[in-house]
Each structure stands twice: as C-alpha cells, then as structure tokens.
Amino acid sequence: MADQPYIKLRDGNSMPQLGLGVWQASDDDARNAALKALEVGYRHIDTAAIYKNEAAIGAALQETAVPRDEIFITTKLWNDDQLQAEKALETSLNKLQLETVDLYLMHWPCPEKGNYVESWKQMIALQQQGRVKSIGVCNFNNDHLKHLIDETGVTPVINQIELHPMLQQRELHAWNAMHHIQTESWSPLAQGGEGVFDQPIIRHLAKKYDKTPAQIVIRWHLDSGLVVIPKSVTPSRIEENFAVFDFRLEKPELSEIATLDKGHRLGPDPKTFNG
C-alpha cells in the first residue's frame, strides 16, 4: 500500500489528507473506532465539542502506542461558545487530555448572531499563545470568509464543508483554493452512500478497480485535492476506508463523477443556520 498523502496548509503545518470522523459516535464507539483507526494507519482524527465524545478520543490517545506527535487532532468551537473561545478550548483540551490541538475550527458562522469575527479574533489569539497549531472554520460561504479576512487580515487554513458527489460545491471549493484555503469534506459518503453508491458510474468504477463504492468515493475526494474524514465505527469499514492508496481515478472518471452533482444538501444551510 502506498504511503498516505499529507496536505501542506497555508501556515506551513501539514495534515494527513484522510482522517477518521466521529460525528454521532457514542463514547465507547468513538474510543474503539479511534483505536482501530490508529492501528490500521490513520493519523488524523476529527472530533468536536458538540459531538460530546472528546473524552473518548482522549482516552484512545492515552491507550494507543502511536506517539502523540504522529497524530493530527482536530476539534471545534461550538456556536454557543463563540464569544468565549479560550474557555471552550480549555474544556476541550481537558477532555482530550492534550496541551494543544493541531487544528481548531469554528463550527458554524451563525451569521444572524454576528459573532464570528470576534470569535475568529479570539481563535487567532489562541494560536498566537501556542494553544492550537492551526485555526480554520467549518461551513463558511465565501462571503463569510471574505468578511473574516477583511476584518482581521488572517485567513483560515481550512474550510470544512458538506461535500460529496451529490453536493460538490465546486464554486466554493474554487474560491477556497484561490485564497489558499484547504477544502475539507464532511459527510463525504453522503451519510451512508444513499443515492451515491448505487450510481452506475460508481458501481462501474468499483468493479473496474476491484474496490467498494465507498472506496471509490473516498478516492474521488483525494484525487480532487480534498481532505476527507469518513465516519465509521465498524472495524472492517474503518480498515476498508483506509485501503485507498493503491489506485487513482483517471481524469475522465473524475469528470463523470462530476455529473452526479445535484446540489443536494443533507445538513443545514450555512446561510440560514444559527443554532
């Protein structure tokens, strides 16, 4: 199996392009999934305060034989804590049993609340203090990003957004790239692959490469230059999702998958979500 790729961020730090997501995973499931993932070879785990499983990830980090400096940990600032980022980070660090996290993300802009610029300023300060290595955002549209950058002069290293074959967000992905912001995909398999795995092109490619539909979709994210964090708590699928480094999709195949885009959003719309 080929070595997993790393992505260099605009601040000079690097992160594994493929990681494990633990959204909606219970404590036991998140801990076991993280341990299995690290055993398989993953070196990137993505959690969040609102997932309520940071302590489980912290427990896994204490149990694994993989050294801390080889593991990239992301967690996120929840919307209710936008004006108290330092306190929220301290809570997350205590649960994770860490002194620093590799990437701290603002979870949503919540535009009607009007706090995201001030929250970003607080996150900048946390990075300057060395409490987090890199800072970024989730679910920001280009107008949110532009406002953030214009007001602070500091550009997020990453924008984690809902992105899968049915919602490819090519315009936002291009805007991010133009401003040297890495795009990261959440719900990359469209939450279980419904409406994706049964597409003829996905089934054809799975047969051609002797891979599963999920592996084809993960490879599509990688070949599109995206950071991708498929979630699974099933050991066999965790292993399967990582076995994607021994092939690449061809450009015409990527173009065929591009035709699947229907603008079909599964999660909230960042324009209107203020939860």
Task: Tell me the average pLDDT across 80-88.
Answer: 98
| Fold classified for 6-258 | TIM Barrel (3.20.20)
Residues 138-177 have pLDDT tens digits of: 999 999 999 999 999 999 999 999 999 999 999 999 999 9
Confidence at residue 160, expressed as pLDDT on a 0 to 100 scale: 98
Structure tokens at 235: 């050991």
Confidence at residue 193, expressed as pLDDT on a 0 to 100 scale: 75
Structure tokens at 125: 């300060």
Residues 111-129 have pLDDT tens digits of: 999 999 999 999 999 999 9
User: At which residue do the structure tokens 């649960």 appear?
Assistant: 95
Confidence at residue 194, expressed as pLDDT on a 0 to 100 scale: 79
Confidence at residue 22, expressed as pLDDT on a 0 to 100 scale: 96
Confidence at residue 3, expressed as pLDDT on a 0 to 100 scale: 81
Confidence at residue 2, expressed as pLDDT on a 0 to 100 scale: 62
Residues 198-227 have pLDDT tens digits of: 999 999 999 999 999 999 999 999 999 999
Single-letter code of the amino acid located at 29: D
Taking the CA of residue 135 as centre, how many other CA atoms within 13 Å lie in the half-sphere pointing to its CB? 22
Task: Tell me the average pLDDT across 188-202.
Answer: 91
Any idea which residues carry the catalytic annotation? 51
Percentage of the chain modeled with pLDDT above 90: 96
Percentage of the chain modeled with pLDDT above 70: 99
Domain boundaries, the chain: 6-258
How is residue 267 annotated by DSSP? S
Single-letter code of the amino acid located at 211: K
Q: Residue ranges of the alpha helices (H) in the chain?
A: 27-40, 54-63, 85-96, 116-128, 142-152, 170-178, 190-193, 200-209, 213-223, 235-242, 251-258
Q: Distance between CA atoms of 146 and 141, rounded to whole angstroms? A: 9
Confidence at residue 1, expressed as pLDDT on a 0 to 100 scale: 47
Task: Tell me the average pLDDT across 229-236.
Answer: 96
Q: Distance between CA atoms of 198 and 143, rounded to whole angstroms? A: 35
* Straight-line distance from the first to the last Cα atom of the chain, in angstroms, rounded to the nearest whole number: 42
Confidence at residue 275, expressed as pLDDT on a 0 to 100 scale: 87
Phi-psi category of residue 228: left, alpha or beta, with phi > 0 → left and psi -120 to 50 → alpha: beta
